[in-house]
Every structure is written in C-alpha cells, then in structure tokens.
Structure 1
C-alpha cells in the first residue's frame, strides 16, 4: 500500500479521503472519554500536512534527519530505499514542520536523550499546562527579565494567533502580533503580545470560554485601558485580557473593539518602533532600567512604571502616524 500511494499523489488523496475522516471521528470519541484532568496525546504523522495544528494546545515534533529516517524505514519497516525516500518526499519539509512546532525533539541519536527530553517536557510543561487550562489560570511569570531578541518570536506569535483565530471563530475580526516582541532586534521580556479585534465587548465576553479552552484563560478585573487626554470618553477604553496557560510560553491577549483609541495605538506603537530606530532604542533603555531597578519588582509594578514614558511617547507616535499617513491594517 505504501509503495502504491507515496509515489502517486492521486492515489494518496483517495486513501486519505477514506481513512482520515474515520481517524478523526475515532480520536474525538476517545478524547471525549478522557478524564477531566487527562493530558490527551495524539500521535498524528500528517498533522502539518493537513493543517491541523491550530486545534491543539501544543504541538511537539519528534524529528530525525533524512539518512536516519531512510535507514529506519528500510531496516524496521522492510521498505526499499526508493519507497522510503518517496514517503519522505511526500511529507512536510523540515521548515514546514518547524513552523508548526512549539517543541522540537531531535530523535536522530541516542533514544535515551529524547526520552529524557520527553520526560522533562511532560513533568515541567504538559502537566502544569493541563492544570492551568482546567483551572482557568495564567502561567506564573515571576519578575520582569529582559532577554535578547529571539528571531523565532514571529513564528511563535503566528502559532498562537492561529489558535486564537480558530477559537474566536467569526467573532474574531483579526489577530495581530503587537508589543515589543514584534519589533525586530529589540531586547525585551519574553512575552508574546497579541491583539484580538472584535466588534463589541459583548462579542469578547461571548468567546471568553472558548479562548480559555484553547489555552488562553481570561484575566479577571482587567477590563479597561488607561484613557489618554486626547480621548477620555470612558466608553472607548473598555477591553478584555486573556493570558497564556502554557508555563513555557507567556502570552498576553488584548481583546479590543475595532476602531477604539487603544485598539489603534496598540497597532501604531510597534509600527512606530519598527520605523524609528531612536524610539526603539529609547524604549529598550527604559524597560531595561525598570527591569533591573529591583529584583522584587512585580509584573504589575513594572507595567505601571512604564506609563509615564508612554504618556510622553504617545504624541510622538501620533505625529509620526500623521506624517507617514499610517493607518491600521484592514
């Protein structure tokens, strides 16, 4: 069967049309029977190829280099080298799998090494992640710490946004990577900030449980941005905030109504920093000093201490937007 379908795209599509719906239905049945505190692990060889990864809280790719994969298929499965290479060629590329992977485990070498990595992953990430989702709580973050820019932040943000889009459904008008991790080269806290755009706060409340089930529980009490002097109408500053439940990937989800001042500024601010090197450098110095000021500084105190700088920077960012005819993405 493998020899027939992995060298023939049409035959493989026919086989997939027969098998995949049945596999999905059976997997759903098994997942529904799992205890409330279970960690359900689904081993899906074609997860990436079928675009299924946004439906899962976390994607772990166990990879091996091509020579190792060919050798194992020939030795363990009795395949010819030609058939083994045809199977590999029909699958997602390494780059495509890395784009979908929240965790990458290299299985090319000693099995004991990947087993140790999987054991640590289970105990330190998956088990507490499940508890956080079930209990609707944010992952603990400790004190603010500035780290060097991570070039994988945009890919991480895209995975997060794909999950949020799926959970929000039609109520989500768009999702954007905002905040300092969206500014290339900027050293900042390792927290992915995204903004989910909705038509109303009623829509935000209606999807709160769905976002929580997807791994982004609501943060009670954070329902308003700080009004600016140029638009102090309190009706314009409402919001909802969700956080990431994954203990190894901190996430802030700002849910704002399209067209409101805070919604617009959340998109403008990183655009201004990306276009204005001096402003980005100034912001980097501000957050570095605040993070180093006191080892016991809380996240809330750190955020509040940035407000005076934002008050001074806001007019400059707005002036830049007028000069450059900047407008929010549509």
Structure 2
C-alpha cells in the first residue's frame, strides 16, 4: 500500500514555485509560452501533498515532446500518463486532454511538471480550477477535508488516489466554469 501524505499548507510553497519556475524557464528558454503554479500547493491555506504542480504551456502538440526531451536531457523523468481524464461536459476530442508529465531530477524538490498545449481543455482546467479555489476559500477548505479523508483510505497507489479525486475536482470545476463566464475570468 502506498501512503498518501497530506500536509498543512506551507507559506513557502509560492517561493519554492518561483525558484523552480526560474530554473525551468532557464532550461526551456522560449519553448514555454507560460509557466504556472497549479494544483493544491498554489492555493493559499489548502492542505496538499508536499509536491509542487507546475504547468508549462506550449503552442503546439509537437512542442510537448520538444519540451519533454529538453527536460529529460536535464535529468527530469518522463512519466505516464500522456493524457488527462476527460471532464463531463467538456470536449471529448482526445487532443484536448494530451499532455506530458515529468518529475524532478533525483534529490531535488518534489515537482510534477505538466506540459500542455495552449487553449486546450486540460490547460484551461488547471488554471481555472486554481483560480476558482483561490477565490472561494470555503470550497478550498471542503476540498482539503476531502483530500485528508481520501488519503486516510487504504489506497494502493498514487494513481488510485488521483482516480478518486478526479470526479471531486470535476464537481468543483463545473461551477468554476459558470463563475468564469459570470466574472469574465480569462487564463
């Protein structure tokens, strides 16, 4: 059994992101359209696994592999999956959910690096999910409690934990789309 450990929010996560994003930017130069802190560590006061989630946005599908190759040459490890889960009500085209996932070089700060194409559903999802939780601290608190309880279950793998979280994240994301339309939110 793989233990999922959810820790209290760490006020230094944004600074840790900045330092890591600077190093990633130096490696990728102009290959990245943008680099964003996403996931639970990007939301103030949200408990999380102590792993930074960072999204690199590229302009085209071939650039996914270009970035993955550059990062792998710098000792980042390419991992599955090569796509995100499709979200009910969003486009079902497989291309909308394609990504590359890399993890940090050995003995470095834990990072999941998600490489996605600009304008695709999965690229927008990560940014809107983050911004909605930042703007709705009560929802973030409820999500944090779900994560604590889920981590306490006898889960076999990190993948199983993610599979358990996906529908809950979707339940948060769907009203986030309504909020984005109402407020004029843009990524």
| Range class of TM-score, shorter chain | over 0.9
Contact conserved, 1:171 with 1:207, CA < 8 A, in 2? yes
For 1:316 and 1:147, the matched residues in 2 are separated by 26
Give 5+ residue unaligned stretches, structure 1.
1-141
Matched, 1:190 2:50: yes
Deviations 1:142-172 (A, max 9, x none): 5210111111111111111111111112211
1:320 — aligned with what? 179
Deviation per CA, 1:231-282: give whole Å up to 9, x if none.
Answer: 1111221111111124452110000000001101101111111110121011
Look at both structures and tell me which one has the larger radius of gyration over its CA atoms: 1
Equivalent residue number for residue 113 of structure 2: 253
Judge conservation of contact 1:163–1:214 (CA < 8 Å) in 2.
no
Q: Contact 2:129 / 2:172 at 8 angstroms: preserved in 1?
A: no
Aligned residues of 2:128 and 2:173 also touching (Cα < 8 A): no
**Can you list the C-alpha shifts for 1:100-147, whole angstroms capped at 9, x where unaligned?**
xxxxxxxxxxxxxxxxxxxxxxxxxxxxxxxxxxxxxxxxxx521011
Identify the match of residue 307 of structure 1 among 158, 163, 166.
166
Q: Distance in 2 between matches of 1:207 and 1:183?
A: 26
* Bigger relative contact order, structure 1 or 2 (CA pairs below 8 A, ≥6 apart): 2
Q: Hey, what's the Cα distance between the residues in 1 that align with 2:108 and 2:65?
A: 27
Alignment of 1:165-244 (within 5 A): 165-219=25-79, 221-228=80-87, 229-244=89-104
Cα distance in 2 for partners of 1:207, 1:268 equals 23
Is 2:157 aligned against 1:298?
A: yes
Deviations 1:207-254 (A, max 9, x none): 3232123342211x3111112232111122111111112445211000
Check whether the contact 2:90–2:121 (CA below 8 A) recurs between aligned residues: no
Alignment of 1:263-282 (within 5 A): 263-282=123-142
Q: Cα RMSD (Å) of the superposition?
A: 1.5
Q: How does 1:28-39 map to 2 (within 5 A)?
A: none
* Contact map agreement 2:76 2:104 (CA 8 A) in 1: yes
Return the alpha-carbon distance in structure 2 between the equivalents of residues 248 and 168 of structure 1: 18
Which ranges in structure 2 are unaligned for 5 or more consecutive residues? Answer: none
Q: Which residue of 2 aligns with 1:147?
A: 7
Cα distance in structure 1, aligned partners of 2:76 and 2:184: 34
Normalised by the size of structure 1, how large is the TM-score? 0.54
TM superposition outliers: structure 1 runs of 4+ over 4 Å: none
CA-CA distance at 1:293 after TM superposition? 1.1
Matches of 1:246 and 1:183, distance apart in 2? 26
